[in-house]
Amino acid sequence: MLHAGSAGAMQATRPHISDAPTCRQWLEGLPLTNVPAAHAEMLVQMELVNHYAMSGVERLKVMEILREPILYLQAEQGRKYAGKPLPFDNTELSLWRKVLSLWQGLAKGYQLCLESLQAGEPELQAYLGFVCQRLVHAHGCQILEHHYAYQPVPERLWRELNQTYALAEEEGVARQAVKDTLNPLMDISSVEAAYVAVLLTALADPYHLTARQLAQVSRWLSKWAARVAVVKEPPAPLYPELKLAPVTVDLARAQGPSLRQDAGLAETGRYLDTNQLAVTLLKRIRHLRKGASPAELDVGEDCVQPACEAFLTQLYQQWCEPLPIRTYERRAGQLKAQVTFTVPAIHYYCNGEKPLRQPGEAPELSWQAMQDLQVFGHVSHHSARLQASQRGYALETWAIVDESALGFRLAAEGMHAARIHQNQLVAVRPPDARSFVLGEVRWLRYRPDGTLQMGVRTFPGIPVAVGVRPPVLISTLPSKYQPAFLLPEIPTLKVPPTLVLPNGWYSPNRPLEVLFEDKLTVKLTGLMSHGSDFDRVTFSVA
């Protein structure tokens, strides 16, 4: 058995935990209200326990006692970096690595229990399905942690996950009911359900999802995964009109699921029967369209309309529908583009490298800019760049990996100054282009070599930098215009004129003053997209 003290240094340090009673006693003194200190202590003890010799059944008791506080501490620590912009700062990156290490320690503990069982320890023989379910869940937590950081999932994790499920299937315990009181929506699980939850999360295209959406998917699948079976033959459709796409996974390969029709699976290939899942999703989508509340459909009170319906529809497309045929061909690119983030910086560069000037306000010039005007009659490029740098407006160079009529796939060129959110506003100026185009960060992903890539969906039309403010009712009260953008109507694409406003400015029928050549009063009529730092809206001229 591998757990019999394989590391000399660890074996020499006796842990505070040597059996179930000492584990309970140690937990009583663990300061769970001080999460960082408790997490650090748990990391140390988990490492020591995994190198301390004890029987398999005693180890399983210890792991079950530790599992609940570990899940609590991991969730608390994860909140400090999940959803933060990329790249993580040093503190966030260190936290992520510590959380990952504790998940690895949890998985190692259950793996040692499995090895004791396989070595023939009689008291553990009835717990094979139980141990495999816990191990699959621990592997899944590690994979989910990589999704939260938009990091590639190591092949090792996929291999270990698939091997654990394959063992449970071979031993006939994959569908055995396992009690799991820590499951968010139901206290019964199985190896198969835990495995399916991991596969479907990966199939949800997690690099397109926010941290909140990933958490929602994880919670929903704690219940819905039980409605998906892993089978050896293509599942027969219950409702042929749905035309469900086959979801496949190869238990012998170090990779996740695929949504495609394989030309013949290997002996180790499996299908996911998503018939019941499709019905579950469609039922909820239809009820929401009829005006039902998300809280009535057990999707959680934090899921609000219309975002809830849109997200469920997106998941149905990812899990159940065949891969779409690309409408616009992607072209490989070897050129570089200039990129900038945040509404003020984008406005500055779209406005000819000039800040937004309030009506009647004199131009804001630095000492160097005034010197340029006196000597050259204009502000030099160097002075403009210096002024932008002083304001914190970075203009970065990114490589164009490929592009299409809908946007770009870009890769960071070395270090970049900006920290990037999902659904953030971005401006891109391709090579040889005079103007920037606006777009939205649709996905983020680190490549195995550490390069950060992002997908940008661009908005049609050349943006015009404008100012916006609520109507001024009392002329003596100061009210400054804020940076915004006007995008033109594109009749051929049936795209109306739109405004790109700071986040939270949209409300139906809200009047706004637009500073564009002259003052223009408009009324907001619809929300086209809601990003992390912007609202793109339609309007009518009042």
* Higher pLDDT pick, 126 / 388: 126
Answer whether residue 84 shows pLDDT above 90.
yes
Answer whether residue 193 shows pLDDT above 60.
yes
Closest C-alpha among 437, 527, 443 to residue 490:
437
Closest C-alpha among 164, 157, 152 to residue 142:
157
Phi-psi region of 369 (alpha: psi -120 to 50; beta: other; left: phi over 0): alpha
Write down the pLDDT at residue 89: 92
Please state the rounded mean pLDDT for residues 131-139: 98
Per residue in 256-287, pLDDT (tens digit) is 999 866 556 788 999 999 999 999 999 999 98
For residue 406, what pLDDT band results from cuts at 50, 70 and 90? confident
Please state the rounded mean pLDDT for residues 75-93: 94
Please state the rounded mean pLDDT for residues 120-147: 96
Write down the pLDDT at residue 184: 80
Answer whether residue 383 shows pLDDT above 70.
no
Answer whether residue 1 shows pLDDT above 60.
no
* Higher pLDDT pick, 320 / 384: 320
Q: pTM score > 0.85 for this model?
A: yes
User: ∠ at Cα 310 (307, 316), nearest 5°?
Assistant: 140
* Higher pLDDT pick, 384 / 314: 314
Per residue in 340-363, pLDDT (tens digit) is 999 999 999 999 888 888 887 766
Write down the pLDDT at residue 306: 81
Answer whether residue 372 shows pLDDT above 90.
no
Answer whether residue 71 shows pLDDT above 80.
yes
Per residue in 31-64, pLDDT (tens digit) is 999 999 999 999 999 999 999 999 999 999 999 9
Per residue in 472-499, pLDDT (tens digit) is 765 556 688 999 999 999 998 889 999 9
3-state secondary structure 140-209: HHHHHHHHHCCCCCCHHHHHHHHHHHHHHHHCCCCCCCEECCCCCCCCEECHHHHHHHHHHHHHCCHHHC
Query: CA 455, CA 442: separation in Å to the nearest integer?
Result: 5
Query: CA 224, CA 56: separation in Å to the nearest integer?
Result: 32
3-state secondary structure 311-330: HHHHHHHHHHCCCCCCCCCC
Please state the rounded mean pLDDT for residues 410-416: 79
Write down the pLDDT at residue 3: 44
Write down the pLDDT at residue 371: 55
Domains assigned to the chain:
8-227 (no CATH), 233-325 (no CATH), 331-355+391-458 (2.40.10.220), 464-541 (no CATH)
Residue 339 structure tokens:
């990129």
Determine how β-strand 482-487 pairs with β-strand 407-412: unpaired
Answer whether residue 174 shows pLDDT above 60.
yes
Please state the rounded mean pLDDT for residues 78-104: 95
